[in-house]
């Protein structure tokens, strides 16, 4: 027997399955794409146990002819591409002819399909890719496929499956995207007997947005349309006031296909520019249409990535279009307009300011202080002068009372590194633009972002408060209702226990609304929804076990932000003094809880250089 042989088809299919069928959601995606390609107007998905025990997809599309049915399970069998030429003008979602044989190779599958001119449907039963039974039976026009015991014969793949919730969330994401891409098709998802998603198929994108993200989000959408020589865009952009902590809700579709394009996602976010809070992402559904010959969809086995020739051009155009759309909806508050007014480049470049950096020992302890790595221009010697003793491991001897007397901040104490006591003083001079405190000491000039400074102070205070595990709750006089997206509702339900542990007492109220009766003492009143949404986002991201500590930390950030003075707010000299005093007593006075800088330092030397007093 010769050494090199062509693999048996069954083995080849199992290997292909490794790429095409990564997880239950991939099966849902492939089956739905087939149903869409078959011209269905109604598609129903039923899922049990995260898709591992059952995924059923029923459609009312064209169906597969009785004679073709076994062929569909052969590798590279497709009705969508007959010649090489077709590869460059792909209009269907599928074309590789790999999905059905791959899925069948790693599951127990049953397919029934009937075309409109046939009286009966043909039904095939397969196990591990082999046809083990077949029959004829009555069936509505269209196709129904049940995939059972996914990965039963590939235990290694099973091991990679995360929690059922994670798999359910992925399945919902897949359906959400396909529903957003195809408003004329009615999609239903039934998970463990419960209707999770139901879109009407009335052709209106905004109805789909309503159906999957809820009325609150749908109300905050702005239509976007645009026409370019080579591209066309339609869709909706969420107002900057509705955001989430994940990019999941930004949907970019090219010629009806959901794509993961870093370049386009970035363009979309850049279009929002200063309008979004840091680490927050908008809801957006952007349909981009372009000549299919410009797009190469044959890059990725799951067809999630595409390549196209004019990507840069499209990105730039999209960014401007998004910007224009948001601008014309007059969403930009005055302060943001001011921020956009840029100074002449030449002047800007001369300011060679330094962000005051925490010493490395501090930075590594705090995950939030990582944004400024590239701006680390403070000389180590200067740092040791500036940074307070406690940063270096010594103890702070300064107290509130000590410092008020002098009107400056005095931090004293002995350093573990050098035993010479150093003193740090910051004397407030004035407030700039109602936003920054200008302060000086003998090392130069400091600009302090008053909001960031106060966020840091509050954050540390709240964090301390929240880490004491008091389980006291407050009963809300009027129960609070909030609405989630369909996928969030599933997560919220699945985490009933965690919510209870946190002190949140709530009841489900319909499919995706919840009624909160009691909240923990440390919740910020009036912002219950935001905090619950944060918790849901954390769970969704769920890379690691979610701890109460994580949730408390998020809540501390949120509360800190709420409680802090905003930009454009006048504060008196006395207030500046006490703010600066409290700031230097925090563990990390350099960055706010979101990682933005608090202090910018112009050293004496730099100031003299600016005025050419030194070279």
Structure tokens at 340: 């956009």
The least CB distance from residue 93 to ligand ADP, in Å, is 7
- CB atoms closer than 10 angstroms to residue 382: 17
Interface residues for ligand ADP in 131-190 (CB under 6 A)?
Answer: 143
Binding test (CB under 6 A) with ligand ADP, winner from 47, 99, 448, 490: 99
Nearest to 542 by CA among 596, 490, 594: 490
Give which of Mg ion, ligand ADP, none residue 516 binds (C-beta under 5 to 8 Å, depending on kind): none
DSSP 538-600: HHHH-SS---HHHHHHHHHHHHHHHHSPPSS----HHHHHHHHHHHHTSS--SB-TTS-BSEE
Interface residues for ligand ADP in 555-614 (CB under 6 A)?
Answer: none
Piece in contact with Mg ion (CB under 5 A), picked from 99-107, 269-277, 385-393, 576-584: 99-107
The least CB distance from residue 110 to ligand ADP, in Å, is 13
Site string for ligand ADP, 499-518 (x = CB under 6 A): --------------------
Q: Indicate whether 59 belongs to the interface with ligand ADP (CB under 6 A).
A: yes
Residue 97 or 593: the one with the smaller Cβ distance to ligand ADP is 97
The least CB distance from residue 236 to Mg ion, in Å, is 28
> How far, in Å, are 71, 123, 126, 162, 303 from residue 115 at the CA level?
16, 13, 21, 38, 28
In terms of C-beta density within 10 A (0-12 exposed, 13-18 middle, 19 or more buried), how is residue 312 classed?
exposed
CA–CA–CA angle 136, 141, 142 (5° rounding): 95
SS3 content of the chain, % helix, strand, coil (to 5): 40, 25, 35
Q: Indicate whether 50 belongs to the interface with Mg ion (CB under 5 A).
A: no
Separation of CA 516 from chain center: 25
Binding test (CB under 5 A) with Mg ion, winner from 13, 34, 415, 441: 34
Determine the longest span between alpha carbons in the chain, in angstroms.
95
Q: Indicate whether 129 belongs to the interface with ligand ADP (CB under 6 A).
A: no
Residue 96 or 244: the one with the smaller Cβ distance to ligand ADP is 96
In terms of C-beta density within 10 A (0-12 exposed, 13-18 middle, 19 or more buried), how is residue 565 classed?
middle
In whole angstroms, what is the distance from residue 458 CA to residue 591 CA?
A: 13
Residue 301 or 597: the one with the smaller Cβ distance to ligand ADP is 301
The least CB distance from residue 501 to ligand ADP, in Å, is 44
The least CB distance from residue 80 to Mg ion, in Å, is 8
Residue 92 or 564: the one with the smaller Cβ distance to Mg ion is 92
Q: Indicate whether 99 belongs to the interface with Mg ion (CB under 5 A).
A: yes
In whole angstroms, what is the distance from residue 359 CA to residue 353 CA?
A: 18
Q: Indicate whether 389 belongs to the interface with ligand ADP (CB under 6 A).
A: no
Binding test (CB under 6 A) with ligand ADP, winner from 14, 16, 50, 95: 95
Interface residues for ligand ADP in 16-35 (CB under 6 A)?
Answer: 30, 34-35
The least CB distance from residue 264 to ligand ADP, in Å, is 25
> How far, in Å, are 414, 417, 598 from residue 396 at the CA level?
8, 14, 21
Nearest to 109 by CA among 124, 120, 119, 87: 124
Strand partners, 224: 235
CA 370, 371, 377, 378 torsion-angle sign: negative
The least CB distance from residue 79 to ligand ADP, in Å, is 3
The least CB distance from residue 61 to Mg ion, in Å, is 12
In whole angstroms, what is the distance from residue 298 CA to residue 431 CA?
A: 58
Task: Decide: 205 and 180 in contact? Cβ < 8 Å.
Answer: yes
Binding test (CB under 6 A) with ligand ADP, winner from 16, 20, 21, 72: 72
Residue 105 or 528: the one with the smaller Cβ distance to ligand ADP is 105
Structure tokens at 314: 């499209």
Residue 77 or 206: the one with the smaller Cβ distance to ligand ADP is 77
List residues binding ligand ADP (CB under 6 A).
30, 34-35, 38, 59, 61-64, 72, 77-80, 94-100, 143
The site for Mg ion (CB under 5 A) is made up of 34, 94, 99
């Amino acid at each position: 027997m010769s050494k090199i042989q062509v693999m048996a088809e069954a083995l080849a299919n199992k290997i292909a399955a490794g790429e095409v069928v990564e997880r239950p959601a991939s099966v849902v995606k492939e089956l739905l794409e087939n149903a869409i390609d078959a011209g269905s107007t109604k598609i129903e998905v039923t899922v049990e146990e995260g898709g591992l025990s059952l995924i059923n997809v029923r459609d009312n599309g064209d169906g597969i002819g009785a004679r073709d049915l076994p062929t569909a399970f052969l590798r590279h069998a497709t009705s969508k591409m007959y010649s090489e030429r077709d590869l460059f003008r792909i209009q269907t979602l599928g074309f590789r002819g790999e999905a059905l044989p791959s899925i069948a190779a790693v599951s127990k599958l049953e397919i029934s399909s009937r075309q409109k001119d046939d009286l009966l449907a043909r039904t095939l039963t397969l196990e591990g890719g082999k046809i083990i039974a077949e029959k004829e039976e009555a069936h509505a026009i269209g196709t129904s496929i049940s995939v059972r015991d996914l990965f039963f014969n590939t235990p290694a793949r099973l091991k990679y499956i995360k929690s059922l919730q994670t798999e359910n969330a992925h399945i919902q994401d897949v359906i959400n995207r396909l529903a957003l891409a195809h408003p004329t098709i009615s999609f239903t998802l039934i998970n463990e007997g419960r209707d999770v998603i139901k879109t009407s198929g009335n052709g209106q994108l905004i109805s789909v947005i309503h159906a999957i993200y809820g009325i609150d989000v749908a109300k905050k959408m702005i239509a976007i349309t645009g026409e370019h020589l080579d591209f066309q865009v339609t869709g909706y952009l969420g107002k900057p006031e509705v955001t989430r902590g994940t990019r999941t809700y930004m949907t970019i579709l090219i010629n009806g296909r959901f794509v993961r394009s870093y370049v386009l996602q970035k363009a979309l976010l850049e279009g929002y520019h200063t309008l979004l809070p840091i680490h927050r992402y908008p809801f957006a559904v952007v349909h981009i249409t372009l000549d299919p010959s410009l797009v190469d969809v044959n890059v990725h086995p799951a067809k999630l990535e595409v390549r196209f020739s004019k990507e840069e051009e499209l990105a730039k155009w999209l960014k401007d279009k998004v910007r224009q759309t948001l601008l014309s909806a007059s969403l930009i508050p005055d302060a943001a307009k001011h921020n956009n007014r840029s100074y002449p480049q030449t002047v800007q470049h001369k300011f060679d300011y330094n962000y005051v950096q925490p010493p490395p020992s501090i930075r590594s302890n705090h995950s939030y202080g990582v944004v400024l790595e590239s701006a680390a221009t403070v000389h180590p010697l200067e740092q040791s002068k500036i940074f307070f003793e406690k940063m270096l491991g010594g103890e702070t001897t300064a107290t509130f009372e000590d410092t008020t007397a002098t009107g400056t901040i005095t931090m004293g104490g002995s350093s573990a590194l050098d035993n010479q006591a150093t003193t740090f003083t910051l004397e407030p001079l004035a407030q700039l633009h109602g936003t920054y405190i200008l302060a000086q000491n003998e090392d130069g000039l400091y600009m302090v972002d008053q909001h960031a400074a106060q966020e840091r102070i509050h954050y540390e205070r709240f964090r301390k408060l929240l880490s004491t595990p008091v389980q006291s709750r407050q009963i809300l006089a009027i129960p609070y209702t909030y609405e989630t997206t369909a996928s969030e509702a599933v997560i919220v339900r699945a985490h009933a226990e965690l919510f209870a542990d946190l002190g949140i007492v709530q009841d489900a109220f319909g499919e995706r609304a919840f009624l909160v009766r009691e909240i923990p003492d440390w919740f910020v009143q009036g912002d219950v929804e935001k905090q619950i949404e944060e918790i849901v986002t954390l769970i969704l991201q769920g890379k690691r076990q979610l701890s109460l500590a994580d949730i408390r930390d998020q809540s501390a950030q949120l509360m800190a932000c709420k409680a802090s003075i905003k930009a454009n707010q006048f504060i008196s000299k006395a207030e500046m003094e006490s703010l600066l005093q409290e700031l230097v007593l925090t563990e990390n006075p350099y960055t706010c809880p979101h990682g933005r800088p608090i202090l910018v330092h112009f050293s004496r030397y730099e100031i003299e250089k600016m005025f050419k007093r030194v070279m």
